Chain A
Amino acid sequence: MENQICKVIKNKNLSKNYYLLEFENNFKKRFYPGNFVHIKIENLFLRRPFSVAHYSKNKIQIIYKVIGIGTEKLSRKNKGDYLDIIGPLGNSFPFYKNKRICIIGGGTGIAPLIFLAKELKKYNEEIYFFYGARNKNLIFFQILPTGINYIFSTDDGSFGKRGNIFDVFKKFNSFDVIYAAGPEGLLKKLTSSIKKIPVYISVENYMACGMGLCYGCVIKVKENDKWEYKRVCKDGPVFEGKEILWE
């Protein structure tokens, strides 16, 4: 990974407290879907991790929700400001070619899935993207790649099907592989109900180093008939669903 100073290109409010931040890509290393960046926020001791939602030679995008002091400060960054960033960090989603693919997520969890969908599209014709949100305003149409089959659901029924995206997803079947990110409840339901095909999930946690050094961000992972704590930042953030022992 590298430590780079990157110039903010834009920091746009998407809806309510959701933002899209775009910065110049000064990284020499390539990013893959699932990788994250660790961003320094002025006057805060720890960096904040964000999954990459878009990656190109010139620019990188992240999507975040203002939930605390770190993201609040980040939301005040303007075009031309500089950010101290470490990346690319973490592992990435395994790639499949010529498969029937399901991508499912909600909230800011869709960030790595957008990057993933763009890459998978190059090698797969059948991609179904299940996108859940509380209401229509929290579906970010403007950043969704084209050429993919979208299935939406909202809690209030203001767009797509009414209800939870998992319940909508259940009515579909015969996928070869599932990729997911977002609320823990969704990930738990997916990993506990789907046993026959691989389910790859990107998980979140508080992090200190982000580089596999401090063992602060661990999650329980099965090892043969036992378990051990694995680092979300280094061994993850992408895990195969059946490996996880949810607490």
Chain B
Amino acid sequence: MGMKKLKIKLGKIELNSPIILASGIFGYGNEKIDFIDYKKIGAITTKTITYTPWKGNPQLRIYETDCGMINSIGLQNPGIFYFVKNILHKIRKKWPKIFVSITGRNEKEFIDIIKILNREKVDAIELNLSCPNFEKKQRMISQDPDLTYRIIKIVRNETSLPLIAKISPNVNDIKEIAIASEKAGADILSLINTVKGLRIDFKKMKIIDGGLSGPSIKPIGLKCVYDVYRVVKIPIIGIGGITRGIDAIEYFLVGASAVGIGSGLFTNANIIEEIYKFLNQYLGKRNLKNIIGLLNEKESNP
């Protein structure tokens, strides 16, 4: 049912479904989750991988909020060598497409990871530009358009693999960052990463200072996609607060070519099935590409 009308091209990547698992939500794709229909997923984005292993943050790492959750995992991961040697070959057959999310603490780390991934069969590299301590400064790469440009450019020069730039919404003008990403050679944009937030655990008298996700950030994600769609030509993966079919439609209508499922999976175990079914019903005889950006317009002179 509806296999064809949900096919979408994301730059050069052909997806059977516009539903993508966002980074951090499904580990490295090596856990078997029996109730998920893998055929209805276009691609998995792995949890972010770094050059050396990272231990991640101490507890508390997660906390529920009124309309979502905050996480502060701290990019715990076993490093690129372990991933390539022990995980990648195991997940390759299971997933239609694999997007590998990476980040680095400096330019060299980005280049070193890319050199390793160039030898592997992966479908795209997603650059997590929200790593908080790049070059030991208290800022994210994607909070600075020049730095965003520089990092994407050096990665671009190292690889012919499709590049996805994942951008933080915690900026004055996300359009600037998106334009810099496109100019530097990004093929696709992922919008948005989590929104900075904080919660208090009264019982433990502790704070959790991290990234907010869930329905509370959907309006922020929609606004970012809406604004960015007007000023770039490259496709956008819309992410943020999707928990049901109608949410995905909203992202398509303002310019997303695909949608990323995040913590919505934790609240709705049937989310993939529901979105897939809803999209088919909503589209009727139309193809997905007919509704992308329907409620938006490209700027004539960006």
Contact = CB atoms under 8 A, between A and B. Distances in A.
Nearest to B26: A213
B242 to A, nearest CB: 13
Chain B interface secondary structure, helix, strand, loop or mixed?
loop
B266 A46 contact: yes
Given A46-B64, A207-B62, A215 B56 contact: yes
Interface string A44-62: 1111000000000000000
Nearest to A86: B269
Nearest to A48: B64
Contact of A216 (B68, B73, B267): B73
B266 A217 contact: no
A228 B31 contact: no
A144 interface: no
Interface in B202-244: 214-215
A151 to B, nearest CB: 30
A211 B33 contact: yes
A208 B266 contact: yes
A236 to B, nearest CB: 14
A142 B61 CA distance: 37
A247 interface: yes
Given A1-B34, A215-B73, A47 B267 contact: yes
Contacts, number: 87
B60 interface: yes
A interface, how many residues as a size bin?
20 to 34
A194 B217 CA distance: 48
Interface string B92-119: 0000000000000000000000000000
B265 interface: yes
A217 B58 contact: no
A73 B265 CA distance: 21
Given A45-B64, A45-B65, A216 B33 contact: no
B197 interface: no
Given A45-B214, A214-B266, A2 B59 contact: no
A229 B55 contact: yes
Contacts of B11: none
B25 A214 contact: yes
Interface in A194-214: 205-214
Given A40-B267, A46-B266, A208-B71, A3 B65 contact: no
A63 to B, nearest CB: 20
Contacts of B60: 206
A86 B58 CA distance: 27
Contacts of B26: 213
B6 to A, nearest CB: 23
A46 B76 contact: no
Contacts of B166: none
Interface string A1-40: 1110000000000000000000000000000000000001
A86 B263 CA distance: 16
Interface of A: 1-3, 40, 44-47, 84, 86, 205-219, 228-229, 234, 247
Question: Which 9 pairs show the lowest CB-CB distances between chains A and B?
Answer: A216-B62, A3-B269, A3-B35, A208-B62, A46-B64, A216-B61, A213-B27, A212-B31, A209-B266
25 contacts: A1-B35, A40-B267, A45-B65, A45-B263, A47-B266, A47-B267, A86-B35, A86-B269, A205-B59, A207-B62, A208-B62, A208-B263, A209-B25, A209-B265, A209-B266, A210-B266, A212-B27, A213-B26, A213-B265, A214-B27, A214-B62, A214-B73, A215-B76, A216-B62, A228-B55
